[in-house]
Structure formats: structure tokens, C-alpha cells
Amino acid sequence: MSGRRPAVHQVLATLGYGDAIGHEVLGIQRVLRAAGYESDIFVETADPRLESLTRHYRELVDATHPDNLLLHHFSIGSRASRTAYALPDRMALIYHNITPPEYFAAVHRTLARQCFRGRREIHAYVERCDLALGDSEFNREDLELLGFPRTDVLPVVPDLSHLDDPADWMVVRQFDDDWTNILFVGRVIANKKIEDVIRSFHAYHTRFNPRSRLIIAGVFNLFERYFAALAHLVAELGLQHVHFAGHVSDAELIAYYEVADLFLCASEHEGFCVPLIEAFYKQVPVLAYAATAVPATMDGGGVLYDTKDPLHVAALMDAVLSSPDLQDAIVEAQLDAVDRLQAKDFDGTLLRFVEQILGAPRTGTAHVSFDFWHQFDALEQLEETRRFRPSAFMALPEEPA
């Protein structure tokens, strides 16, 4: 290694405002800069509110150095990813998981294709990375199944301080009454299975408590077909008290947590799920479907269920909401889980991984011929045809002998 101190940069497809990955990226940069590393964030796109904190991925070419380390947040594949892949810098993958494309095939074909290609493209990084880090044990195990030989966990330790600010008084005034508020927070997207939340709420509302409402706080305008299906379901069930709040500000989010009586989650695919921890912190009892990373994220807090039968879930909702003593016990266990999470040394863990990579012989190198990604895309398209259009695949001419 030369006498210069290596830079440790981050690269990702897009930096979003207010989402879990965005918070983590900015937190990593703060830790690295505080430790004396030069550290920038290179992206293909960014929310306009965050653009001043980023550099365009094309500038990576000017910032590259064989001694540098790129922390690559891999999601669905991007030009930023492919540029980073071809550079001589060391690389560590930070993996937030990729939702299986089957969830989106009927409601968002573009996203289904992106997820399919992302899960294919990640295989190209198996030998490129010095280390592959999942942000949960579930994600680390997924990396292992994908073939990465060197894996570990960089735990998500979300900054919850923004939830201590004042709540939006208009939201509080609208929903803080003698009705029971059931809350879900998260993107209105197919893997979250919001249709199951609605069906369970319908069973609770009709069988146990007609003075109840469901509040769904999360962006839905990017997934119009799925949102339309949910709106149709609400109308079909004759529900009058389902509120889609859309994308909310921090003050509005705080208000929704403060007026909530129960947080209900039916998601079937999560790499971590920060809103569960936010609900824990705001002392809202959580009832969640036990799938993927959800049980590990909850870490003994909240209540897990393993069947989607709406009447069963509604009975669990009623059991929790009808017993103040049970609510107190659930909240106490949730706060204990938050304490355990916040006791994790994220800063020290991150810096140990960085020092470990920089101090070891490099193992990941790029092997990129001029047509590498062209050939990769061709193979990807062939595999997509085989999986989703088998009759067209069978009609392709045989490979010449």
C-alpha cells in the first residue's frame, strides 16, 4: 500500500430522502469522516433535497485509486454499480436484500424486471468483493446462499432521535379521539401484503370493534396499479375507515405513531424493517407476520403470528387491544429490544470491517472485457425468457454443435 491514506467512498443507485437506506448511508459517511477518512457518496440519482450531499457516479473515474475502498450498497443493479465494478478500487458489498420479482409481476412489470435482473447481477460480484456485508443475519445468510465466500453482518442501528420532535398537531387533532387506531408504516408495495392488513382490519372492525380505523402511512404514487387494487378491495369490503396517508413528513409520522393503538404488519419479505423498531420506540404494541427478517428484527419484542387467516389475526388484535396489562408487557419487551439494538457498536463495527479489508491482501478484482456487461445482459435476457416465457424459450434455435 502506498503512503497515502486510502479513501473510503460509498456508491449506490439512488439516495432517497427519509428512507432507511438513506439514513444508513449518511450515518456511514459521518462515521468515516469522523475517523479521518475521505468519504464521498457517489450516486446515479438522488432526491433533490440530498443532491448537494452526493457526487455523480461518473466522477468515480476521477476519484478511483487501487488503495481506496468502495462500500457498494447493492440493490437492483445500475450504471453506478457497473462503473464501480470495473474500477481497480477494493470493494465491500453492503446488501439490503432484493425483493423476489414474483411479488411485482402482476402490478409493476418494470420493478419486477429490475428485481429479477438485480438478483441475477449480484452473482457477478461474488469474486469482485473483499467482503460482503448483510445489514441483518437474514441478509447475510442470503449472501451466503448466493455464493459469497466472505460474509458478515453490519447491523442496522437506526437513529431514532427524529421521533422525539413535536408531532404534527393537525394529524393529532384529526385522529386522537376515542376510536381505536390501527397503523401500518411503509411503502405501499406488493411484498408488504397490505391487502392482508386490510382483510385483518376488516375482520376486527366488523367482528370486534366498529369504532376502529386503519391508517396506512407510506408512499403509494409510485405503485399505482397495486394501490388501485387495494382501493378496489377497500370498496369491495365496504370499509369506510381506511386512510391512505401517502408520503408523510417526520412531524406527521410522529403524530401517527402517537395516536396509534396497534401497529399491524403483514409483510412477507423484509431485510430488516425499520418501522417495526420505530413503533417499538414510540411504545406502540406491534403485531407482525413472522416472515423473513421480521422475527430477528423484533428480537423478542411485539407479538408474532404465523397464519394469515383474517379472523385469527383479528382475534389477536382484540386480545392485545382489550388488555391494558398485556399492552404494558408488550411495550416493556419492545423497549428492551430497542435498548439491545442501540447498545450495538455500529461505529466500531464499521471501522473494524474497513480496517480489516484495508489491512488484508486484496481478494476481489474486476475482470471486465469491453463487452462484459453486454454479454451479461444477453445471458440475463435469455434466463428471463426461460423463466417467464418458457414456450418462447423452447422455440429458440438450438446451440450449434
Which grid coordinates belong to 162? Answer: 427524529
Structure confidence by residue, pLDDT tens digits, 373-392: 445 455 556 666 666 667 76
What pLDDT is stored for residue 20 in this prediction?
A: 81
Structure confidence by residue, pLDDT tens digits, 21-48: 888 999 999 999 999 999 999 999 998 9
Enumerate the β-bridge partners of residue 91. 70
CATH architecture of 8-157+345-368: 3-Layer(aba) Sandwich (3.40)
3-state secondary structure the chain: CCCCCCCEEEEEEEECCCCHHHHHHHHHHHHHHHCCCCCCEEEEEECCCCHHHCEEHHHHHHHCCCCCEEEEEECCCCHHHHHHHHCCCEEEEEECCCCCHHHCCCCCHHHHHHHHHHHHHHHHHCCCCCEEEECCHHHHHHHHHHCCCCEEECCCCCCCHHHHCCCCHHHHHHHCCCCEEEEEECCCCHHHCHHHHHHHHHHHHHHCCCCEEEEEECCCCCCHHHHHHHHHHHHHHCCCCEEEEECCCHHHHHHHHHHCCEEEECCCCCCCCHHHHHHHHCCCCEEEECCCCHHHHHCCCCEEECCCCHHHHHHHHHHHHCCHHHHHHHHHHHHHHHHHHHCCCHHHHHHHHHHHHHHCCCCCCCCCCCCHHHHHHHHHHHHHHHHHCHHHHHCCCCCCC
3-state secondary structure 10-24: EEEEEECCCCHHHHH
Q: pTM to 2 decimals? A: 0.86
How high does pLDDT run on average in the chain?
A: 91
* Distance linking the first and last C-alpha atoms of the chain: 49
What pLDDT is stored for residue 86 in this prediction?
A: 87
Structure confidence by residue, pLDDT tens digits, 46-66: 989 999 999 999 999 899 999
What pLDDT is stored for residue 382 in this prediction?
A: 61
Indicate where the chain has its CATH 3.40.50.2000 domain(s): 8-157+345-368, 161-342
What pLDDT is stored for residue 23 in this prediction?
A: 87
Quickly count: other Cβ atoms within 10 Å of residue 99's Cβ. Answer: 24
Domain 161-342 fold: Rossmann fold (3.40.50)
The fraction of the chain above a pLDDT of 90, given in percent, is 74
Across 115-119, 182-186, 252-256, least confident range:
115-119
Report, as an integer, the average pLDDT of 129-155.
95
- CA-wise closest residue to 200 among 122, 288, 261: 288
